[in-house]
Amino acid sequence: MINWFIVSSDSIKKIGHDTTNNCLYIDFCQRGEYEVYTNVSLYAFYHFSLAVSIDEYYQQVIRVNYSRKPQCY
């Protein structure tokens, strides 16, 4: 099950985490689908959700350190 959090961001509407498979889900404001990143621990997800700037954290940490699934399901 994905636990979603609405975030304060210009480009991201909400983020979610599935503890069953350690996936991070990011729902962007302007896109019809969301991105899924693998091997993201719950601890890393909480750091992301509590970041001062969600957009900067996404650009500097998530995109750099985690692998993105080609498509979401």
User: Percentage of the chain surpassing pLDDT 70?
Assistant: 95
pTM of the model: 0.88
**Looking at residues 3-13, what average pLDDT do you find?**
93
pLDDT at 52 > cutoff 50? yes
What local confidence, expressed as pLDDT, does residue 31 receive?
A: 73
CB-CB neighbours of 51 under 10 Å: 17
**16-37 CB burial, b ≥16 within 10 A, e <16:** bbbeeeebbbbbeeeeeebbbb
Q: Can you read off the two tokens belonging to residue 73?
A: 């399901």
For residues 18 and 3, give the distance between their C-alpha atoms in angstroms, rounded to a whole number.
6
SS3 32: coil
